[in-house]
Chain A
Amino acid sequence: MTSIRITGGAVHDPANHVDGEIRDVCLKDGKVVDDVASDARRIDARGMVVMPGGVDIHAHIAGPKVNAARKLTLDERRGDPVDRTSLLRSGTGGLVPSTFTTGYRYSLLGYTTVVEAAAPPLAARHVLSELRDTPMIDKAFLLLMGNNQVLFELIRESGGAVSPRLRDAVAWWLDATGGYGVKLVNPGGVELWKQDNGNVHSLDDHVAGFEVTPRQVLEAIGGAVDELGLPHPVHVHANNLGVPGNADTTLDTMRTLSGRQAHFAHLQFHCYGGKPDGLPRSRAPELLEWLASHPETTADVGQVMFGPAVTMTADGPVAAMLRDLGADKWLNHDTEVETGCGIVPYRYRASNYVHALQWGIGLELFLLGKDPWQVMLSTDHPNGGSFLSYPKLIRLLMDRAFREDQMGRANQRAIRRTALFDGLDREYSLNEIAIITRAAPARRLGLRDKGHLGVGADADVTVYHDRADREEMFATPRYVIKGGEVVVEEGELRRVDDGVLLSSHAGFDSEVSGVLEPLFGDRYTVAFQHYPVRDPALREPARVVEARVS
């Protein structure tokens, strides 16, 4: 493999307390090393900024939900064709790009690792097949477990406590699918949606037919993930997403998981004050206060960007709410035993009060937060906007004048109801950007070899021109290095890397199969023995991250 010395660049490696020092970064055999031989390739990075490759902790890039969104949104991709070349596969872009194009465009943006944040375990084969066709990035997926009837049975059996059986079941599911972590989406609410268009509204509502509550699901599964020591804590999409007043539910959820490691997804959508049938207001400061006093808790923002988006979620009732607001297109898909899915193409308008408030709340989360290690960058791609809008979002955070210009174009009634109106003057530094886009997500995912440039780290590196226009800077890296090989130069893909699957593993008592099999038999239309995905062609190449206490 290639040896490379990146020389003369300003290195931003916050995990190793390096903040803009001019120093060399040496790469060999796919890893960061102390030094390389004198005949190693030299990359002259003088006047440039060197960071670890980007890590996206929460995006939707593969699986049946994403593929259904492709089928639903043909028109918006027609204008964005991607030609095949001697090196690259053809495809289409837009908000929900085809698989190859997804990988190429993440790479062109300087990202080297991406997490698909919501996969039905039953569809693991589909997710894995799509991820095999998503090159250039290492990839992981989170398993949806918040509305799983089999787990509900185990939670009911344990009275809502973490039980050895439940722990074993969670570990079994990861082993059976190649998943990396556990996602809870509107615990209990999706099951009720599938029953009769119902939902839960508080953590103590009962899930009909199962005698469990969302709080018990949070405590039991969140606790199981914590006790298993999985590399990534439970990843929570809280109940009541998008509903005015939902900050109470979010705080209740945070209190319920207090003392346990937990990550809150797209927090912006869960920060609202007001009454359910009224207009929302911001309660971001309260949630940030909670985060500041609970270092075991992290979040990604789920920033909305003005313009088109495609909402896609396992939270079926949320999609139905958008449908009832007048959406042209609506797609619903119910997956037996496990989850739901709703998709609605959407547009965030600067002139719209709610949309401008959402935009402002997202920026509040970034700018009022004390610790960037706790609040990470995401647009919940493509729910709040495409991952291609990350450079613009970074500019909003780094460039106050640009931000104020954009604020001036937004609904002023909404802006006045956010802290932005008070003249927030914070501008993110390059080091803070490095934290929220790579160091913090990698650390939170438990990926010790990623998100930093210390010796032994993966040789995933992005080199940017240090441009005053931060949007332009982050949109077109000078070099992207993946696994020690230069894959992008000056905005062009030069080499294709397949990337690897990132899975996690926790030990479990194999006797749990004897518990699960009868529970499966009554519910699934897939035989228990055929449910696990063992095919090397789907599971490899992979890097398996062990749980702390397995």
Chain B
Amino acid sequence: MAKLGPVTCAGCGLLCDDVIVEASDSALVLRPECRLGTAWFSERMSGASDGPLATIDGEPADVQSALARAAEMLRGARRPLVHGFGGVTVEDARAAVALADRLGALVATDEGEWSGGPAIPLRGASTATLGEIRDRSQLVVIWREDPESTHPRLLERIGFGGNGPRTLVVIDDVDTATVERADVRLAWPREHDLEALICLHMLQRGLAPRADGLAAELADELPALIDRLGAVPHVTFVYGDGLIGGPGGQRRALALHELVRALCRERHAVTLELPGAPGNRSAEDVLAWQSGYGGNVDFGGGHPELATAPLPLEDVDVRLRVASGPAGSRVAGPDGEVWIRTAAAGVEAGGTAHRLDGVPLSLQAPRPADAPTAAAVLSRLLGELAG
């Protein structure tokens, strides 16, 4: 049995870099154990990526022909879209944004339902790396997320199960694995989240919320939560699409950050956002430094513009889906489809990825492969377009 590591696991946004992989023909075991990580490594180390390096309209093709065809499709595109970014590295994202700039493309790092746009530019935020939360937060509130399923080692990595008193509050009306870990569980329907945040903010300021609605239903629970938050010097809110996804998401995010800002006057309070998919944070950060904008960006006018409305996807005629690993990079349009296999970052190729808290980490290549990285494919594609 081959023993590899410690290596960085890019199976979720946590990027745990203490992982030992024990692989044989019949089994793959991760230490420390992680269901998601095991599946992620298994898929990339099982040989499932054997097969053609590229296809054109589903037929095997050599990479150069595929690149030439992809370039032809993109060159003829009226409204290209660059999206996906599954499992990508910083290097992949740099190449993708360079290509999008050249194409005048739309770039989507967030393809969820329109939430109203990012909330950070409205009032800011207070955030911290995992180590800060682990070492300082006595109270963690997880708001409508289930990291036990999506980021299985999150609780361990922010100190639960370790030394010291620590309280986990979970706000969710759905029974999840994370709810089972909660010391305190609060539940109300998702449509009441904004109201709950406003009530908490009012209570924190010593004001009385309206005597009806959620405040009345949770007349004991919400003040008790404020008391808990006020009783310790350091608190953390963990959130994600469960709170801020979809219509009205921007307002809920803003309300959360306003609450945290108010709490910060008397204690240290921070937030931690769980990304929708691995690779998201790397792509968002690269897009921000190359374009100046955090969010979906349109290069169609010759310069970057922040998307302030749902992306006009109905206008898109050619899509470039960027991904690292088995999914490969794919160009699809009305005249066909090109797929080019890319090396799986973190298994077949190295690179840099940004953890969900922004910390950049190295990815290793415990089983290097011949397939080009997504960055290499996109750079060659840019070369084809320039040529």
Q: What residues of chain A have their CB less than 8 Å away from a CB belonging to chain B?
A: 62, 64, 66-67, 70-75, 77-78, 81-84, 89-94, 96-101, 122-126, 129-130, 132-133, 193-197, 320, 323-324, 328-337, 343, 523-527, 529-530, 533, 535, 537-538
8 A Cβ contacts from B342-387 to A: 350, 352, 354, 358-362
**Smallest CB separation, B105 vs chain A (Å):** 12
Q: Please, how many angstroms separate the alpha-carbon atoms of A194 and B264 in the complex?
A: 11
Residue pair A92, B304 in contact (C-beta under 8 Å): yes
Interface check B52, CB cutoff 8 A: no
Q: Please, how many angstroms separate the alpha-carbon atoms of A130 and B287 in the complex?
A: 11
**Smallest CB separation, A58 vs chain B (Å):** 20
- Determine the chain A residues whose CB is within 8 A of the CB of B291 once the complex forms: 90-92, 98
Contact of A81 among B118, B266, B305 (CB under 8 A): B305
**Smallest CB separation, B132 vs chain A (Å):** 4
Q: Please, how many angstroms separate the alpha-carbon atoms of A129 and B89 in the complex?
A: 11
Asked whether A196 and B131 contact (CB < 8 A) given A94-B292, A530-B361, the answer is no
- Determine the chain A residues whose CB is within 8 A of the CB of B45 once the complex forms: none
- Determine the chain A residues whose CB is within 8 A of the CB of B312 once the complex forms: none
Q: Please, how many angstroms separate the alpha-carbon atoms of A196 and B265 in the complex?
A: 10
Contact code string B285-301 (vs A, CB < 8 Å = 1, else 0)? 11011111111000101
- Determine the chain B residues whose CB is within 8 A of the CB of A71 once the complex forms: 118, 120-121, 288, 293-294
Q: Please, how many angstroms separate the alpha-carbon atoms of A98 and B292 in the complex?
A: 5
Residue pair B123, A125 in contact (C-beta under 8 Å): no
Contact of B132 among A90, A196, A334, A526 (CB under 8 A): A334
Residue pair A196, B268 in contact (C-beta under 8 Å): yes
Asked whether A123 and B359 contact (CB < 8 A) given A84-B102, A334-B127, the answer is yes
Q: What residues of chain B have their CB less than 8 Å away from a CB belonging to chain A?
A: 6, 8, 17-18, 90-91, 94, 98, 101-102, 118, 120-132, 134-136, 157, 233-234, 261, 264-268, 270, 285-286, 288-295, 299, 301-306, 350, 352, 354, 358-362
> In chain B, what residue has the closest Cβ to A81?
B303
Q: Please, how many angstroms separate the alpha-carbon atoms of A328 and B125 in the complex?
A: 11
**Smallest CB separation, B126 vs chain A (Å):** 4
Q: Please, how many angstroms separate the alpha-carbon atoms of A324 and B262 in the complex?
A: 11
- Determine the chain A residues whose CB is within 8 A of the CB of B157 once the complex forms: 525
Given contacts A74-B121, A194-B128, A194-B132, 20 further A-B pairs with CB under 8 A are A64-B358, A70-B294, A71-B294, A74-B295, A99-B289, A101-B292, A126-B285, A193-B268, A194-B136, A196-B268, A323-B261, A328-B123, A332-B127, A334-B127, A334-B268, A335-B129, A336-B129, A525-B130, A530-B8, A537-B91
> In chain A, what residue has the closest Cβ to B104?
A84
Residue pair B132, A89 in contact (C-beta under 8 Å): no
Residue pair A130, B289 in contact (C-beta under 8 Å): yes
Residue pair B360, A329 in contact (C-beta under 8 Å): no
- Determine the chain B residues whose CB is within 8 A of the CB of A328 once the complex forms: 123
Contact of B352 among A125, A330, A525 (CB under 8 A): A125
Residue pair B352, A524 in contact (C-beta under 8 Å): no
Q: Please, how many angstroms separate the alpha-carbon atoms of A78 and B292 in the complex?
A: 9
Contact of A331 among B17, B120, B131 (CB under 8 A): B120
Residue pair A197, B267 in contact (C-beta under 8 Å): yes
Q: Please, how many angstroms separate the alpha-carbon atoms of A92 and B127 in the complex?
A: 25
Contact of B264 among A75, A197, A343, A533 (CB under 8 A): A197
**Smallest CB separation, A134 vs chain B (Å):** 9
Residue pair B90, A529 in contact (C-beta under 8 Å): no
Residue pair A90, B101 in contact (C-beta under 8 Å): yes
Asked whether A72 and B128 contact (CB < 8 A) given A98-B289, A122-B359, A123-B359, the answer is no
Residue pairs across A and B with Cβ atoms less than 8 A apart, 16 shown, are: A77-B292, A91-B292, A97-B292, A98-B289, A98-B290, A123-B359, A125-B362, A126-B285, A126-B354, A194-B136, A196-B234, A330-B261, A335-B132, A525-B129, A525-B359, A527-B18
A-B interface, 3 closest residue pairs, ranked by CB to CB distance from nearest: A336-B131, A92-B292, A71-B294
Q: Please, how many angstroms separate the alpha-carbon atoms of A415 and B265 in the complex?
A: 34
Asked whether A333 and B288 contact (CB < 8 A) given A126-B354, A529-B6, A538-B352, the answer is no
Q: Please, how many angstroms separate the alpha-carbon atoms of A82 and B303 in the complex?
A: 6
Asked whether A126 and B124 contact (CB < 8 A) given A67-B285, A83-B303, A90-B101, the answer is no
> In chain B, what residue has the closest Cβ to A130?
B289
**Smallest CB separation, B128 vs chain A (Å):** 4
A71, A92, A93, A328 pick with most chain B CB within 10 angstroms: A71
